[in-house]
Amino acid sequence: MVVKFCSRLSEQIERTWREWEMKSSFSPFLYFDYMKSIYRQIRFFVWRYNAVIATVENENGEILMIAPLKRNVCTRAYKMLGDVRGCGEADFLFAPEASYEVRKKCVSLFMEKLGEKIMFRRIFANSCLTKILSELGYISSVRETPCVKICYGDDVEAHVKGLSSSVRQNIRTAYNRMKRDSMAYELKVYIGTNIMDNQVGRDIMNIYIRRQKLKYSKHKNLMHLPLDFVIRMKYRRILHDSVSLRNDGNSFHSVLYLNGKAVSFMSGFVDKQAHRVVVPRLAIDSDYGFYSPGYVMILETMKRLIEETSIRVIDLSRGDEKYKLDLGGTPYATHMYTCNA
């Protein structure tokens, strides 16, 4: 076996990566198109890091492992390429037919060749990578980041009945308030080739940018400054998840409208098995919080997905916010640890 490090996504790497996607149950966060957008962002817009793709090949030149990485140009330390805001999971990729022992050998050779510190974050708790690195003696401690996914069957009403009485009351209250105030609601869902029109895209981005400013800015009046143009360009054209959500063929968008105004949305990606959607972006217009648009949107989305698709898992990814658990979410975790090669 031989370990190689390259700065470009070669045709062989792309071809192998896409073949593995079809044969394995990778998270959509690990699909080639999604990772390519991160690679592009790192390569062209982030000066602190260089994107690096490490591979392990057998004696026939066939790739057995792909490690998407980035290297700090100052400290020379490595991180996972997917260790960026908006990405819910990062990992090494292995040939589907590779045995555990082959995978372990690949990781061992990689660590010996690396020669630098590497931080692993956003690693799924059940990933074989963590087990292998632990067996090889590279891991001394692991920190966990909570995540939540909502699993449901073919009957939304049955799912709602399983929620707490207080949550069920909150849901009834939300619908009653909309009815009382003559707030007609409409849900628009776009999956893959069902491309949303430009106006819906603008509606989503307006909610998201406003949420980001209110959440992260010390200056709440940024919306009124010329800097707003720069921020909008960043979120629309530069950030990897904006590019992927706009261009990838497995993108997913669900938008709730009240009397014709977009008040909440969630965007993500559907897996190859069409069973799960991962959601890195979800936001509501706080001006309409009285109507609990987050609750309504998720429940109405579940109904639509049951009626029209085989998707039965809405993975709300990083964070264990109360609303996720209120709606029947199941906690899981991703791991973080540092290894010195």
Q: Which helix (H) or strand (E) holds 249?
A: none
Are β-strands 117-124 and 329-340 bridged in parallel, bridged antiparallel, or unpaired? Answer: antiparallel
Question: 220 and 111: one domain?
Answer: no
- pLDDT tens-place string over residues 257-300: 999 999 999 999 999 999 999 999 999 999 999 999 999 999 99
Question: 302 and 174: one domain?
Answer: yes
Averaged pLDDT of the chain? 91
d(CA 71, CA 250): 29
d(CA 256, CA 261): 8
Question: 294 and 158: one domain?
Answer: yes
- pLDDT tens-place string over residues 58-85: 999 999 999 999 999 999 999 999 999 8
Question: 169 and 304: one domain?
Answer: yes
In a domain? residue 7: yes
Question: 83 and 157: one domain?
Answer: no
In a domain? residue 317: no
d(CA 311, CA 328): 16
Mean pLDDT along residues 317-338: 94
Question: 52 and 199: one domain?
Answer: no
Question: 219 and 105: one domain?
Answer: no
In a domain? residue 301: yes
For residue 59, the domain's CATH number is 3.40.630.30
In a domain? residue 233: yes
Question: 245 and 126: one domain?
Answer: no
Question: 176 and 64: one domain?
Answer: no
Total domains in the chain come to: 2
In a domain? residue 326: no
Q: What is the pLDDT of residue 198?
A: 86
Question: 126 and 265: one domain?
Answer: no
Segments forming the whole domain that contains residue 207: 153-311
In a domain? residue 328: no
Question: 126 and 238: one domain?
Answer: no
In a domain? residue 323: no
d(CA 88, CA 176): 35
d(CA 195, CA 191): 7
- pLDDT tens-place string over residues 296-305: 999 999 999 9
pLDDT at 23 over 70: yes
Mean pLDDT along residues 207-232: 63
Question: 113 and 235: one domain?
Answer: no
d(CA 305, CA 254): 10
For residue 222, the domain's CATH number is 3.40.630
In a domain? residue 70: yes
Q: What is the pLDDT of residue 219?
A: 46
